[in-house]
Chains A and B, each alone.
Chain A
Amino acid sequence: MSLQSSADVVVIGSGICGSLAAWRFATQGASVLILEAGPRLDRGRIVAAFRNSTRRGDWMSPYPPSPWAPHPIYKPKDNGYLVQAGPYPYPAEYIRAVGGTTWHWAAQAWRLLPNDLRIKSLYGVGVDWPMTYEELDPWYQEAEEIIGVAGAPNTGSPRSKPFPMEPVAEPWSMRRFRERLAPSYAVVANTVARNSRSYGGRPACVGNNSCQPICPVNAQYTGDNAADAAEAAGAKLVPNAVVYRIEHDAQGRIAAVHYYDPDKTSHRVTGKTFILAANGIESPKLLLLSASSKYPNGLANSSGMVGRHLMDHPSSSLTFYADEELWLGRGPQSPSSINTLRDGAFRSEHAPYRLDFTNISQVYSVTQYLIKEGVYGPEFEKQLRWRAARQVNVKNVLEVLPDPDNRITLSSEKDAMGIPKPEAHYSIGDYTRRAADVSKADFARIAELMGGTGLRYSADGQFANNQHITGTMGMGSDPATSVTDGYGRTHDHENLFICSTGVMPTAATMNSTLTAIALALRTVNHIQPAPAPTSSTTSAAREESHA
């Protein structure tokens, strides 16, 4: 049996992009229906699940997948949901639930650099974006005002208006990095969606140091806040609604979407405008799943580019002991970084990168180390305190270029609902690997300036993933080489739009969420123009409206 409903705007995915798009439509009077594959979550229960977790370094541990909407889990064993085709593993982590993956982000809310949008023209690599940074600036500003971003103006990304909030108070550990690395390196406050004062009805940070996997006090903006705002504005949100097909009409317009509830009863939802916002893996999966006789390669895929140009931010790192007590773990987890290597003429030769310092408490990892080493007796406590006070880490955040062979496809394996699983084809190219090699000199210099001992580099050729799923539905001016136009409208379907990090044509060096939100707000405005965001709306009014 197929149950039917309808709305002006149908949004697939209730993450931060989909929910903010829904919120904006709803505030402008449209009827909005949000379909979310996963369940609703409760912040308090997530906190309890983390405290009771047996894997406290695994940010997915408090987020078990639902049977009907699985997401990738790798520990204690791989649940096999994201099939790995190789040659290099792509162990992406994301959350299928109301609010999406920002439940467990670090709230780094960065703008790109102007040159990030022109790397083909400037450096002969990658592609140019179908817009300029200046065109994005007001949408960045609006995104920052909606979610509440705290930052300093010295990160390299220009802006025409001040940040909504002052930078979050600098932890002692980061102060010491800043002081001791100067003038060789400028350590600056990260740009974060974390409150440095009460904002949007949410409190200032109180230093719980569990930003990943959960902020217990809602001091950092997460997608559930966006979903709540959308519902408060009148949007209807249906959880546990697993969209499995997008239906088009004879003209190629999208007519409806079909979803299963957990009992696998099928429902059909019609609408006028459709927003696909199910992240950079589930969205292309859904487009490919929706192949028809008219579109045998999947929807929005006349270019063959759906799922291609998968990007993320690989990282290599150095862990060492500073020569003074810094005690990481006081304050938020991701406070500071070095931004001076995000751009330069070298980009024609190797990837740019950001250097990021963690402020995650080292107690858990040091404890595991001491147990592994068999350190017992009074020496255990002595070493725990010594190491936890001094152990620090710096990592690079490397740009990956768009490569059509890095892609998401449909696996021959199916999930419990009978829906094909996504399959990742991934490799890390020489452009990125060369930058990892170059950055080792920075690591060494940083350790030297901090009086570092016990230097432990990550293994050559091995990279940690940062879960910044980018590309796969890239925007561009040429329908032959891109999936959407510069406003997120699919080239092939005039009423199907994509709001996702997946539309970003390149990944640059910065966490991708804020850019995706800015693009989503720009998309909504393109569909349903609102008053100019920077002239008639003050930050305070926006803050209040989203509380």
Chain B
Amino acid sequence: MATNPPNDLTTRLYDPADPTRRRLLAGLLTAYTASLIPALAEPAPHADRGAFTALSAILVGRQALDSVQATHLYDALAVNNPYFAADVQALLGLIDRRHIDPMQLQSVLDAEHSPLAPLPRNIVGAWCLGIVGSGEAARCIAFETALNAVMVADVLKPPTYAYGVYGSWASKPV
């Protein structure tokens, strides 16, 4: 059982400068949503998945997302919601049309009783916890590569992974 994550985890998965890791999204985004995720604003080969990556990037506030993980999460989320692709397109379009700030998005959807209201939490939960679904139907899709682990990877290791040699935790965190 490995107890050390790959050393290059963060770099390998989330280097926005790596053109092979970018999602190609031009054509899906208008000026507003493109302004939220400029590094991702390139042509998309598959509109549904491209829209998912664009919406994901807006919701989790990152300029680059791993394409393999995006595929896994998309597939898992789509299993739980047969209208997932359409919902993603609809929410992306809504953000675009109304220039909704991501921090205001949930309250806007909740206030309007939008059928899209569950979507942001489902997507952010998938990316940031690595978990799709809830209750007995929940599934773990990612752990070490879930974004909440990646976002603190300079300070913490995911639980179960060795922090370092004995006593290395005694020093002030960087």
Residues of chain A at the chain B interface (Cβ within 8 Å):
43-44, 47-48, 50-56, 76-77, 169-172, 175, 196-197, 204-210, 214, 216-217, 325-327, 329-331, 361, 363-364, 366-368, 370-381, 384-385, 388-389
Known contacts A371-B124, A375-B103; decide if A209 and B159 are in contact (CB<8 Å).
Answer: yes
Tell whether, in the assembled complex, residue B129 and residue A330 are in contact, meaning their CB atoms are under 8 Å apart. Answer: no
Q: Give CA–CA (A361, B159) in the complex, Å.
A: 8
Are B103 and A377 closer than 8 Å at their CB atoms?
Answer: yes
Please name all residues of chain B whose beta carbon is closer than 8 Å to the beta carbon of A375 when the two chains form the complex: 103
Identity of the chain B residue whose Cβ is nearest the Cβ of A378 in the assembled complex: B61
Are the C-beta atoms of B3 and A208 separated by less than 8 Å? Answer: yes
Question: What count of chain B residues pass the 8 Å CB interface test?
Answer: 54
What chain B residues lie within 8 Å of A43 (beta carbons)? 1
Binary interface profile of B, 129-148, with partner A (CB < 8 Å = 1, else 0)? 10101011011100110011
Which B residues lie within 8 Å of A376 (CB)?
Answer: 58-61, 102-103, 105-106, 120, 124
Cα of A542 to Cα of B103 in the assembled complex, Å: 60
A44 to B160, CA, bound (A): 11
What is the 8 Å Cβ interface bit string for chain B, positions 77-121, against chain A (1 contact, 0 not)? 000000000000000000000000111011100100000000011
CA of A197 to CA of B151 in the docked complex: distance in angstroms? 32
Q: How many whole Å from B64's CB to the nearest CB in chain A?
A: 13
Contact B159 A385 (CB under 8 A): no
Contact residues in A for B121 (Cβ distance below 8 Å):
371-372, 374
Task: Report the minimum CB–CB distance from B171 to chain A (whole Å).
Answer: 6
Q: Beyond the given A169-B166, A207-B168, A376-B58, please list 14 additional residue pairs across the A-B interface where CB-CB is below 8 A.
A: A47-B160, A51-B160, A76-B136, A76-B138, A371-B124, A371-B129, A377-B36, A377-B58, A378-B61, A379-B103, A381-B61, A384-B152, A388-B152, A389-B155
Within the complex, the shortest CB–CB distance from A328 to chain B, in Å, comes to 9
Given contacts A206-B163, A207-B164, A377-B61, contact A172 B152 (CB under 8 A): no
Please tell me if the beta carbons of A207 and B107 are within 8 angstroms of each other in the complex. Answer: no
**A375–B121 Cα gap in the complex (Å)?**
9
Q: What residues of chain B lie closer than 8 Å to A330, measured between beta carbons?
A: 155-156, 163, 169, 173
Most chain A CB neighbours (cut-off 10 Å) among B135, B138, B157, B169: B169
> Which residues of A are found within 8 Å of B43, using beta-carbon distances?
none
Name which residue of chain A comes closest to B173, CB basis.
Answer: A327
A50, A331, A370, A379: most-surrounded residue (chain B CB, <10 A):
A331
List residues of B (16-45) whose CB comes within 8 Å of A's CBs: 36
Q: Return the contact of A363 from the options B125, B156, B160 (Cβ within 8 A).
A: B156
Q: Does B9 contact A (CB under 8 A)?
A: no
Report 8 cross-chain contacts, Cβ distance below 8 Å, ordered by A residue: A53-B140, A206-B163, A210-B160, A214-B160, A370-B128, A371-B124, A378-B61, A384-B151
Task: List residues of chain B with CB under 8 Å of any chain A CB.
Answer: 1, 3, 36, 58-62, 101-103, 105-107, 110, 120-121, 124-125, 128-129, 131, 133, 135-136, 138-140, 143-144, 147-149, 151-152, 155-173
Q: Are A374 and B166 in contact (CB under 8 A)?
A: no
Closest residue to B135 on the A side, CB-wise? A76
Nearest CB on B from A336, distance (A) = 12
Residues of B within 8 A of A196 (CB): 166
Q: How far is the CA of A53 from the CA of B165 in the complex (A)?
A: 27
Residue in chain B with minimal CB distance to A75: B135
User: Are B169's CB and A172's CB within 8 A?
Assistant: yes
Pair B160/A54 contact, Cβ less than 8 Å? no
Are B171 and A329 in contact (CB-based, < 8 A)?
no
Which B residues lie within 8 Å of A374 (CB)? Answer: 105-107, 110, 120-121
Partner of B143, one of A52, A76, A175, A361: A52
Residues of A close to B149: CB separation below 8 A: 363
- Give CA–CA (A197, B152) in the complex, Å: 28
CA distance A330 to B167 in the complex (A): 10
Please determine whether A367 and B128 come into contact, CB atoms closer than 8 angstroms.
yes
Could you tell me if A379 and B102 are in contact, using CB atoms closer than 8 angstroms?
Answer: yes
Q: Which residues in B have their C-beta under 8 angstroms from that of A54?
A: 131, 133, 138-140
CB-CB under 8 A from A366, the residues of chain B are 148
Q: Give the chain A neighbours of B128 by CB distance below 8 A.
A: 367, 370-371, 380, 384
Complex interface: chain A residues within 8 A of B125 (CB): 371
Contacts of B167 in A (CB 8 A): 169
CB atoms of B102 and A209 under 8 A apart: no
Nearest 10 A/B pairs, CB to CB: A374-B106, A377-B102, A207-B163, A331-B169, A169-B167, A378-B61, A54-B138, A330-B169, A44-B1, A376-B102
Instruction: Give, as a whole number of angstroms, the nearest-CB distance from B121 to chain A.
Output: 5
Closest Cβ of chain B to A167, distance in Å, is: 11
Distance in Å: Cβ of B42 to nearest Cβ of chain A: 20
Residues of B within 8 A of A385 (CB): 151-152
Q: How far is the CA of A361 from the CA of B20 in the complex (A)?
A: 33
A173 to chain B, nearest CB (A): 9
Q: Residue on B with the closest CB to A211?
A: B159
> Who on chain A is nearest to B150 by CB?
A381
**A381/B151 in contact, CB under 8 A:** yes
Task: Give the complex CA separation of A366 and B170 in angstroms.
Answer: 23
Q: How long is the Cα–Cα vector from A172 to B169 in the complex, in angstroms?
A: 6
Q: Are B61 and A379 in touch, CB under 8 angstroms?
A: yes
Cβ-defined partner of B166 (8 Å) among A55, A206, A377: A206
**Chain B positions within 8 Å of A204 at CB level:** 166
Contact status A169-B170, CB under 8 Å: yes
* Nearest neighbor of A196 in chain B, beta-carbon distance: B166
User: B141 CB to closest chain A CB, in angstroms?
Assistant: 9
Residues of B near A206 (CB, < 8 A) are: 3, 162-166
* Cβ of B49 to closest chain A Cβ, rounded Å: 20
Whole-angstrom CA separation of A76 from B133 in the bound complex: 12
Contact B102 A51 (CB under 8 A): no
Does A47 contact B1, Cβ atoms closer than 8 Å? yes
Q: How far is the CA of A172 from the CA of B171 in the complex (A)?
A: 6
Inter-chain contact B61/A209, CB cutoff 8 Å: no
Q: CA separation between A376 and B55, bound complex, in Å?
A: 11
Is A329 a contact of B140 with CB atoms below 8 Å?
no
What is the bound-complex CA distance between A47 and B158, given in angstroms? Answer: 12
Residues of A within 8 A of B170 (CB): 169-172, 175, 331
Inter-chain contacts of B159 with A (CB < 8 A): 50, 56, 208-210, 329, 361, 364
Does B151 contact A171, Cβ atoms closer than 8 Å? no
Given A327-B156, A377-B36, answer yes or no on A367-B148 (Cβ-Cβ < 8 Å).
yes
Q: Cα distance A175–B169 when bound, in Å? A: 11
A56 CB, min distance to chain B CBs, angstroms = 7
In the docked arrangement, what's the CA distance between A205 and B3, Å? 12
